Amino acid sequence: MNNIPVVDLAHFTQGDAQTRTNFVNQLGKAYEEVGFVSVINHGIPDDLISRLYEEITQFFSLPLSIRSTYKKPELAGQRGYTSFGTEHAKGYEAPDLKEFFQFGQVVTDGDEVAAHYPENVPVDELPDFTPTLLAAYRAFENSGTALLQSIALFLDLDPNYFDPFVHNGNSILRAIYYPPITEEPRSAIRAEQHEDINLITLLVGASADGLQVLNMQGEWVPVTSMPDQIVVNVGDMLQRLTNNRLRSTTHRVVNPPKEKWGSPRYSIPFFLHPRSDMSLACLESCISDATPKAYEDYTAGQYLDERLREIGLKK
């Protein structure tokens, strides 16, 4: 894993008090020093991950004329299909060399927040597509909640601090397709360097290498997770909340060597977002004379809206 720390989530979800404490400290230190961890025993079944990749591979194998019918421009890419060359990294004009499909929260308990979420977009040609994405969404949500409980303890918060914000939160499951490269790219790589918007991102596998993270020494380090691992990184919302104690790590997806341009790449990150009304005001415990407050007060919804405009998904 090229110096990306590996943590065992079962030590937190099933361990005794001391084992849990050790996990909390290990995870928190990794996020303070690296920003990325690889997680084993993460609770997302292998067969579900396999089915998920099968379904998204089938979707991106559909003709473009069919994929395009699932594009919903009025939703700013938050549900359904987003075509190739639409999204770009903050601060970059050249679009990333990717297209993607996004699946969001499904509220089943009558929570009034449902009125603020658009409906997911079913794919008529693939009857198992929506059920598979929903099952994966719930599995990611459960694992992400456990990781946030550990982060809360590391920050000396109540372990359930994040729970009410994550319940029926605005998380997104994004299935990304990087098509074969057919000509010399103008200025973009598959995904230019960026930081994620959300609290944490859970990334399950990838069909090819390419992910790199920027370490504390300013070096780009390749990251390839093993089949039994997921990679989890800190996002901008958690960085704001902790006043930079936990930093959102810069990462990118580089183009393969020219001899492998003909190979596509698939990747499925789960962007764990809280409910839009969660305050991202810096925690008082993270503010001091040595670390003065670095950010103005925002809600998660306000910050998400700002970032969607910056990356070209929202006008």
| Contact present, 185 and 191 (Cβ < 8 Å) | no
16 phi/psi in degrees, rounded to 5: -75, 180
Tracing tokens 């997921």 back to the chain, one arrives at 230
Residue 258: Cβ-neighbour burial (10 angstroms; 0-12, 13-18, 19+): exposed
Q: What is the pLDDT of residues 163-200, one digit of tens each?
A: 999 999 999 999 999 888 777 766 566 667 778 899 99
Pick from 180, 161, 168, 66: which is nearest to 121 by CA?
66
Q: What is the pLDDT of residues 124-142, one digit of tens each?
A: 999 999 999 999 999 999 9
Q: SS3 of 68, please?
A: helix
Residue of 210 and 80 predicted with greater confidence: 80
Tracing tokens 């040609």 back to the chain, one arrives at 125
CA distances from 177 to 10, 129, 159, 189, 253 (A): 31, 16, 36, 14, 12
Q: What is the pLDDT of residues 216-230, one digit of tens each?
A: 778 888 877 677 889
For position 186, what pLDDT does the model report?
65
Q: Residue 73: is its pLDDT beyond 90?
A: no
Tokens encoding 270: 């789960």
Residue of 262 and 98 predicted with greater confidence: 98
For position 3, what pLDDT does the model report?
63
- Chain center to CA of 178: 17
What separation, in Å, do the N-terminal and C-terminal C-alpha atoms of the chain show? Answer: 39
- Name, in order, each residue with C-beta under 8 angstroms of 222's C-beta and a sequence gap of 6 or more: 2, 209, 211, 212
Q: Whole-model pTM above 0.85?
A: yes
Mean pLDDT for all residues in the chain: 89
For position 245, what pLDDT does the model report?
94
Q: Residue 208: is its pLDDT beyond 60?
A: no
Residue 114: Cβ-neighbour burial (10 angstroms; 0-12, 13-18, 19+): middle
Q: Residue 15: is its pLDDT beyond 60?
A: yes
Confidence of residue 1 (pLDDT cuts 50, 70, 90): very low
Length reported for the chain: 315
Q: What is the pLDDT of residues 89-110, one digit of tens each?
A: 666 666 777 899 999 999 999 9
Confidence of residue 207 (pLDDT cuts 50, 70, 90): very low
Rounded to an integer, what distance in angstroms lies between the CA atom of residue 310 and that of residue 168? 25
Tracing tokens 């473009």 back to the chain, one arrives at 64
Q: What domains lie within the chain, and their CATH numbers?
A: 6-310 (2.60.120.330)
